[in-house]
Structure 1
Amino acid sequence: MATDGAIKGARFRFRTASAVIMTSVLALAVGAQPAAASDGPPEEEAGIAWTACEGLEEQFQCARVRVPLDWDEPDGEQIELAVIKHLASRPEERIGSMFLNPGGPGQSGVGLVRDGADDLDAWGGGRFDLVGWDPRGTNDSTPVRCFTSDEERDAFWAGVSIPSTPAESEAYQQKTLDLAKRCGELSGNLLSHITTADTARDLDRLRALVGDEQLTYAGLSYGTFIGQTYANLFPGRVRAMLLDGLINPVDSSTSEEANIANAVSSADEVFEQFLLACQNAAPGECALAGHGEPVKDRVAALFERTRQAPIPAPNADPPGELSYGDLQVSTFTPLRLPLTWPQFAADLDAAAEGDASALETAARALQSPVGMIASTTSTAISCGDAPARVPVADWPQQIPRFTEAGKLWGSVLGWWLWAPCASGWQADATDRYTGPWNATTPNPILLMGARYDPGTPYRNAVSAEQRLGNAVLVTLNGYGHPSYQVPSACMDKLRVSYLVDLVTPPRGTVCQPDEAPFG
């Protein structure tokens, strides 16, 4: 699901409940390896025809850039990319352009720069033009289409939620079969050409068009997968690459099944950290505490009660009930945003008292028709990069495997992402990239990650440092996905030093957060 990220200080504040579902969940890249890319001078000299952005200040410029649908046929059918630029605030000291991707897959890089330019400008000390783009298949670039109208889309997704019974699961399976058919009929050959490797090649075209001989890039969550793919395709063209919230391309290059197993594997541990932090909070700071029982027992009872029967949500609009699947979905956003944990605890406590209105409202936002079509865009990229190996008819065996990998989110992502991919998804993505992943770049790649990251397991960052030929990992000793969700002056300083001066800290550097979730 797509994100519009507004940044406060050095961290992003997601503006909608649908902001985070795919910020990191997908590690994507399987199948045949494309032809090797050669390093060399920029291929494009014509530049980008920038124009004023409607409704934005003059320091923003917008453009549409044509790129080949199939990079193996550069003079063949063309598609368009929506691109935005924010001019450096210190133009007299400008170094070049810094490209950014917020994750997803499928989140809007245009929205990222539009809404967060002031803070992102500070990441580079005001010395870079910020360039964001909507990746192919998404948002205002040439998009994946699965419905002929908004009305058809809304009718298709009306009342859909994550299934928690065999009957609901059978119905959802039929829904994913229909979805795969619709997307194939309306999007056609585009589905085979929206892989991460395709996007990395688009990024290299944009780099050349802005006139930079080498790339400066900040990739967040799934954006780290774009970065790792680019670094391995074009290692000599990397000036600086900051990756925060690391996808593990090796764990995720086998199949969609392996991809999801990795993605859901850390949420349970982080949820335990949330419960522990609540238990240890000062009196009155966590609503779940102080009820005469351990916090973990109170929440476990809530989950078991919801598994047995829905909990009323009388103040939702319209009133309704919180199912077990909805309860799982309602944890997606707050678990990634530690500074929202006090409100999350209050919402869980209200549900334990019999009113699940707040949690149901959060779950509906993620499962609304608009939210689900954003999820479909993420699915389309995921299916191209990591095809499913198990057919959707085998869901009675496969969904429990996902749940074993991650109790909290396994079945959610299994139904949202794996099921459409396993339903005869119509993509033949022969140019997806499958490795190797050990490229050595001229300058080090800076990796950042929180020790307790629910969306991309911390071990992914550790393995990336070991695998890449020239990379340094900085650890935030705290929570959040990605690490900037909690402010840290230490992380801020290291980020600027790296992007501006190419200075990396000593290996093993650990930064402390400036704020704690509860007080």
Structure 2
Amino acid sequence: MHMRRTPRPTRPLRASGVLLAAAALLISACSSESPSGSSSGSSPRATVPTGAVLTPLPRATPSALAPYYGQKLNWRSCGVPGFECATMKAPLDYDKPGSGDVRLAVSRKKATGPGERLGSLLVNPGGPGGSAVGYLQSYAGVGYPAEVRARYDMVAVDPRGVARSEPVECLNGRAMDAYTQTDTTPDDGRETDQLVEAFKKFAEGCGAHSPGLLRHVSTVEAARDMDILRAVLGDEKLTYVGASYGTFLGATYAGLYPDRVGRLVLDGALDPSLDARRLNKEQTEGFETAFQSFAKDCVRHSDCPLGDAGTSPDQVGRNLKAFFQKLDKEPIPTGDPDGRKLGEALATIGVIAAMYDETAWPQLRDALTSAMRKDDGAGLLALSDSYYERDADGRYANLMSANAAVNCLDLPPAFSGPDQVERSLPAFEKASPVFGEGLAWASLNCAYWPVGNTGEPHRIEAKGAAPILVVGTTRDPATPYPWARSLASQLSSGTLLTYVGDGHTAYGRGSACIDSAVDRYLLQGVPPEKGKRCS
């Protein structure tokens, strides 16, 4: 499944995952601790069974964790004006504190004033696998409203296994190029075998390069790391803005530490109660909803290569699907110095990338026009590369690796083998005639993961927590609106704020109505009235 948040305005096409590596699902099901845990020694371990509610951790900090909670951060210049950086230690295995540590990259920008400082505001852009430190330094630390930055120290930590925090690594650039071009709509047994081999090679690479860390990058562990950071920063409660997968991370924190919840904004919410297969299928429906909206907009423009003013959205979809099938048989040139051509897999990702942000639709029309009418795939390849975080030198960020590592640990696989995928194809293709087949096959990747999952689907109630603000967008492609409704209803103190519109997430994307409601909550602790909708 796909789910990254868009760090506006500097990276307009950061989506949420990748068709192959990320399709595992971005919702992690947590391991939690038993309420009977002792306050001394290591913490007891208990897995949340299917259908259960995430159990809070004991309020008393285990003595074995005291050195982590009492550490002092050595802040230094980051080389980015106005920002400081530090390294924080957390136990690699919370069941065995002291047996090994993971080093986490932290960054902050101190409150600028005027006004009384309200504490730290931790931000996470989603993923899993998105760099929170990069997001803070490129956008949140300078792009969040001045009133918020005046009152809060803006803070980010790259979760374990991500970017600057001991990144999980799977394949190098050339191998990743081959992986991203793997056909995810196999036409016969040979192509199915090739797809399975690609999943296995990717998984084996992760297992070979990051064997110890790979077992300890779950969302519940990342949430526990955030509590150490909260304490180290000197905050009694956590104030947090999480987008996309970041909503699951924030909700998990609330479920584990309800008494330490300050002001939590969960924008573009995930539903932790759903299993991987259902999550993937419902997200497929979300991409179809977004594509239908794009299709209606496209045909209003004379440069739409998929139809004219009289073309229905369904026919636009059939036209695009026919183009994908043509590319499957005969990829087109892109001018790429590494010789990559535009086949169906890369073209599909290019289109999906633009579904996250309606301001990218003109770029997508141009790219499709060049590809369909001029046999020039450069535009769609550029969209795909932006989505995969591939630079001009052929290097990939670790987003894809971290995304799969967290996803495959957090939930049981959506499918155990090709036969299950084939039986589910009709349901996925009904969910999206354009993307359904590819997204169904992409959901197979965790079947071959080198370590077993530690999480299961569950509800998060966070009883006793302060008010939590959940934000949902009605035509969100990656986190469908029903997920926001569901999470808000699960949380005992959840309030749902609705944006009627397009795109992935809502805060900071141009709606004064949404932004003012979120800002008021962050600055005054007052959530919007029940049922508030913005458009």
The alignment status of 1:127 with 2:151, answered yes or no, reads yes
Q: Which residue in the other structure is 1:144 paired with?
A: 168
The alignment status of 1:343 with 2:367, answered yes or no, reads no
Q: Which residue in the other structure is 1:29 paired with?
A: 28
Q: Which residue in the other structure is 1:363 paired with?
A: 384
Letter of the structure 2 residue corresponding to residue 300 of structure 1: R
Letter of the structure 2 residue corresponding to residue 120 of structure 1: Y
Q: Which residue in the other structure is 1:382 paired with?
A: 407
Instruction: State how far apart, in whole Å, the 1-side matches of 2:256 and 2:324 are.
Output: 48
Query: 1:399-429 CA deviation, whole Å, 9 max, x = no partner?
Result: 625444444444444454x333101x22245
Q: Which residue in the other structure is 2:39 paired with?
A: none
Q: Which residue in the other structure is 1:7 paired with?
A: 8
1:445 to 468, 492, 516: 468
Secondary structure at the counterpart of residue 102 of structure 2: strand
Alpha-carbon contact 1:14-1:20 (below 8 Å) kept: no
Alpha-carbon contact 2:75-2:85 (below 8 Å) kept: yes
Instruction: State how far apart, in whole Å, the 2-side matches of 1:151 and 1:259 are.
Output: 30
The alignment covers a number of residue pairs equal to: 495
Change (3 A) 1:364 1:139: closer
| TM-score (norm. length: structure 1) | 0.85
Secondary structure at the counterpart of residue 483 of structure 1: coil
Q: CA deviation at 1:220?
A: 0.3
Secondary structure at the counterpart of residue 474 of structure 1: strand
Instruction: State how far apart, in whole Å, the 2-side matches of 1:155 and 1:361 are.
Output: 13
Q: CA deviation at 1:74?
A: 1.8
Instruction: State how far apart, in whole Å, the 2-side matches of 1:290 and 1:436 are.
Output: 45
Alpha-carbon contact 2:255-2:462 (below 8 Å) kept: yes
Secondary structure at the counterpart of residue 95 of structure 2: coil
Query: 1:420-442 CA deviation, whole Å, 9 max, x = no partner?
Result: 3101x222454x47544112344
Q: Which residue in the other structure is 1:50 paired with?
A: 75
Query: 1:494-516 CA deviation, whole Å, 9 max, x = no partner?
Result: 1110001011111111112xxxx
Alpha-carbon contact 1:311-1:356 (below 8 Å) kept: no
Letter of the structure 1 residue corresponding to residue 11 of structure 2: F
Query: 1:68-112 CA deviation, whole Å, 9 max, x = no partner?
Result: 011112222111101101111216521100011100001000001
Letter of the structure 1 residue corresponding to residue 34 of structure 2: A
Change (3 A) 1:302 1:427: closer
The alignment status of 1:307 with 2:325, answered yes or no, reads yes
Q: Which residue in the other structure is 2:184 paired with?
A: 162
Alpha-carbon contact 2:182-2:198 (below 8 Å) kept: no
Q: CA deviation at 1:343?
A: 2.4
Letter of the structure 1 residue corresponding to residue 162 of structure 2: T
Query: 1:267-303 CA deviation, whole Å, 9 max, x = no partner?
Result: 1112111112334x4x658665647645653552242
Secondary structure at the counterpart of residue 469 of structure 1: coil
Q: CA deviation at 1:2?
A: 9.8
**Unmatched runs of 5 consecutive residues or more in structure 1:** 513-519
Alpha-carbon contact 1:312-1:356 (below 8 Å) kept: no
Change (3 A) 1:95 1:402: same
Alpha-carbon contact 1:448-1:461 (below 8 Å) kept: yes
Letter of the structure 1 residue corresponding to residue 8 of structure 2: I
1:269 to 289, 294, 297: 289
Q: Which residue in the other structure is 1:515 paired with?
A: none
Secondary structure at the counterpart of residue 317 of structure 1: coil
Instruction: State how far apart, in whole Å, the 2-side matches of 1:398 and 1:110 are.
Output: 42
Query: 1:214-241 CA deviation, whole Å, 9 max, x = no partner?
Result: 0000000000000111111100100100
1:204 to 217, 227, 250: 227
Instruction: State how far apart, in whole Å, the 1-side matches of 2:320 and 2:94 are.
Output: 51
Query: 1:92-134 CA deviation, whole Å, 9 max, x = no partner?
Result: 5211000111000010000011101111253725211111111
Q: Which residue in the other structure is 2:50 paired with?
A: none
Secondary structure at the counterpart of residue 407 of structure 2: helix
Instruction: State how far apart, in whole Å, the 2-side matches of 1:96 and 1:7 are.
Output: 24
Change (3 A) 1:159 1:408: closer
1:75 to 90, 94, 98: 98
1:330 to 336, 350, 365: 350
Q: CA deviation at 1:62?
A: 0.2
Alpha-carbon contact 1:164-1:325 (below 8 Å) kept: no
Letter of the structure 1 residue corresponding to residue 415 of structure 2: V
Alpha-carbon contact 1:96-1:127 (below 8 Å) kept: yes
Q: Which residue in the other structure is 1:419 paired with?
A: 444
Change (3 A) 1:412 1:91: farther
Instruction: State how far apart, in whole Å, the 2-side matches of 1:157 and 1:183 are.
Output: 13
Q: CA deviation at 1:35?
A: 3.1
Secondary structure at the counterpart of residue 422 of structure 1: helix
Secondary structure at the counterpart of residue 76 of structure 1: coil
Instruction: State how far apart, in whole Å, the 1-side matches of 2:158 and 2:310 are.
Output: 50
Secondary structure at the counterpart of residue 501 of structure 2: strand
Secondary structure at the counterpart of residue 326 of structure 1: helix
Change (3 A) 1:161 1:360: farther
1:185 to 205, 208, 223: 208
The alignment status of 1:215 with 2:233, answered yes or no, reads no
Q: Which residue in the other structure is 1:297 paired with?
A: 315
**Unmatched runs of 5 consecutive residues or more in structure 2:** 36-56
| TM-score (norm. length: structure 2) | 0.83
Q: CA deviation at 1:184?
A: 1.8
Alpha-carbon contact 1:4-1:111 (below 8 Å) kept: no
Q: CA deviation at 1:337?
A: 0.6
Q: Which residue in the other structure is 1:516 paired with?
A: none
Alpha-carbon contact 1:2-1:107 (below 8 Å) kept: no
1:422-501 alignment to 2 at 5 Å? 422-423=447-448, 425-430=449-454, 432=455, 434-484=457-507, 486-501=509-524
Instruction: State how far apart, in whole Å, the 2-side matches of 1:121 and 1:313 are.
Output: 44
